[in-house]
Every structure is written in C-alpha cells, then in structure tokens.
Amino acid sequence: MRLLSIEVALLPYLAGALILGATEIPLRFFDAPPECPDRAYFLSRLADRVANVDPRVTLEVSISRSRSAVFEGNMRVFREQNAFAPRQLTSTDCTELTDGLVLIAALALEAAHLPAEPSEVIEAVELIEAIERAPPLSPANKVRASFSRASGSVSVRGYQPAFGVQIALLSGALPGVAVSVPVFAELSEPNAGTYRIAFEWSSGDTADGRAHFLLLAGRVSACPWTLESADVRFEPCAGLKAGVLSARGIDVSNPAREKRGWLAVGPLARVKWLIFGPMFLEAEGGLFAPLIRDRFYFAPDIAVHEPNRLTAELRLGAGFVLW
C-alpha cells in the first residue's frame, strides 16, 4: 500500500513532465534559401536552449539572400494577440545567422515566463541580453550592432566595401563621344544605401584635329535607398563630378595649353546583378549639368569647343565585394 501511495503521489509530476516534453516549439512559419539550415535545424538548436515552452508565444522566421551572398534574417514574436517589434540580423554566413536567430528566439521564449511587465521593458531586457550573449562573429563577417530603445528592436548591419572598374561612354563634356575606364570604391549597407567614389580620365580631339582635350575628374554618388529583388538591385542616385578640363592646340601657330575647373551635378541610376559569390555586374546611366562651362577658342576669336549644357554618361562595369 505504501508503494502504491508513492506512485500515486508521483503521477502529477510524471504527467507534467510528459506534457512538457511533448510540447512543440511554436514555430508557425519558417522560410530559408536552400543553402541555409532548414526548419529542422532551427528547431533542434532552439530545443537545446529552451527548457520550457509557453504555448501563448509563437514565432515566425524568414531568411533571404541579398546581393553579394549577404543573408538577412527576420523574426517576429507573438504573445497571444500582441506582436513584438521584428528582429533583423544580417551576415554572410547563413549558419551563423540562423544560430543568432535561435539565440534571440530562446530569449523571447524564456522572457515569456517572467512576471508581466510593460512590453518595452521586456523588449529592452531581451535585446540587451541578445547583444551581450551573442557568439562572436568571425573576422570575415564583421558587423555592427545598433540598439533602438524607442522601437525595442535590434538590427545587426553589415557594412560592405566593394571595388570595381567600368567602361564609360561620355558625351557633351569633350568633343564627340569619349571613352573612359573609371575605377571605383563603394561602401554599402542594406538599410542605409550605397555611397561611391570613382576616378577617371577621358580625352577627345576636335573634328579637324587642331585641338586635344583631357578631362581628369573624380565623382561621388549617393544612393540612399534601393529596390532589390532576388539577385538584382536598382539604385537611384545623385552624383557630383569635379576635376580639371584641359586643352592644347595641335599644328597651330603659338600652341598653348589651357586648364579650367570642371564641376557638374546630376541624377543617375544603377542596376546590379549578382553573378556568383561576391562578384557583380552593373549598368549605369546618368545626366549631368556642368556648373562651370568655359569656351575654348583660338585667337582672335575662332571657336574650338564649348561643353554642352547637359552631358550624358553610359557605363558598364564589374565589381567585387570584400565581405
């Protein structure tokens, strides 16, 4: 009889353990590219970190790949009818990114068992712990974490430097259509846009061959927002071009060389295609309005060349993202 009473006394605890063990992690949606860890991996890693599961909490996880093999993970946490601010992480290593989402999901599920507090306090505690306890990233995946207390969201953003070269056709600044081979360096961030600096030289002769022109210039462009779909990215930008326009006479009496400043501004648009790994191709077009337009002539007053009021550029290029 004593043995029976002990068994009966233990039944509630055994039943509770069975119910807890049978409870599934409330992941109602999961989507990731084929090269990323799958739903089973996510659930397995999360089960290793979470001892108790609150059925009132549900999760939604989606992972997508942007250009240059950068993965972006988004996770939404719901508690009953309340939706917390979405979490966003980016990394070039999808497994590392998935593990980071697992960590934040575990913190969210653990926080569900704390006494009720204002949502913003719960969010702040979760996010601070996530930043402090997150595993270190490899040197090749350097990222910066930003914390917004007002919105209660965490975003780990990767700053991506890239370098490349273009072939450009320039019309309006020099006589005829000039060819140039610019080189560029840029810095892009998924949420902040792309910022680029380029250097180029181009030259052209007048139709009669009596004058030679050379344009040495640097150009900066800012693309504060982008439109992205799969492996294609569209960037509307604003550009500023500054440099020196020089001219010299050929086969004329008393040939001279003149140098004038060059400054132009205008809009441009760029389309990029991710081809493989960190490599990308691009096409770009723009219109620039010269703010300085000097007239070149032979003495006493024989017109040689004057830049157009509006110049055009068409560029094709290739680039390489460092990380």
Structure tokens at 81: 């009818």
Cα–chain-centroid distance for residue 279?
14
| pLDDT value at 105 more than 60 | yes
pLDDT of residue 85: 64
For residues 214 and 199, what is the distance between their CA atoms, to the nearest angstrom? 14
pLDDT of residue 115: 44
Lowest mean pLDDT among 83-92, 171-180, 266-275, 285-294: 83-92
Summarised one tens digit per residue, pLDDT across range 156-208 is 446 789 999 999 999 999 999 999 999 999 998 877 889 999 999 999 988 88
Question: Which residue is associated with the tokens 């004057």?
Answer: 306
Mean pLDDT score of the chain, rounded to an integer?
77
Summarised one tens digit per residue, pLDDT across range 114-140 is 444 444 444 544 554 554 455 544 433
Q: What is the rounded average pLDDT of the residues 65-84?
A: 76
Total number of residues shown for the chain: 323
Closest to 237 in 3D by CA, of 222, 220, 218: 222
Q: Which domains does the chain have, with CATH numbers?
A: 2-157 (3.30.160.100), 160-321 (2.40.160.20)
Structure tokens at 49: 């970190």
Model confidence, pTM: 0.54
Summarised one tens digit per residue, pLDDT across range 32-55 is 998 899 998 988 888 888 777 777
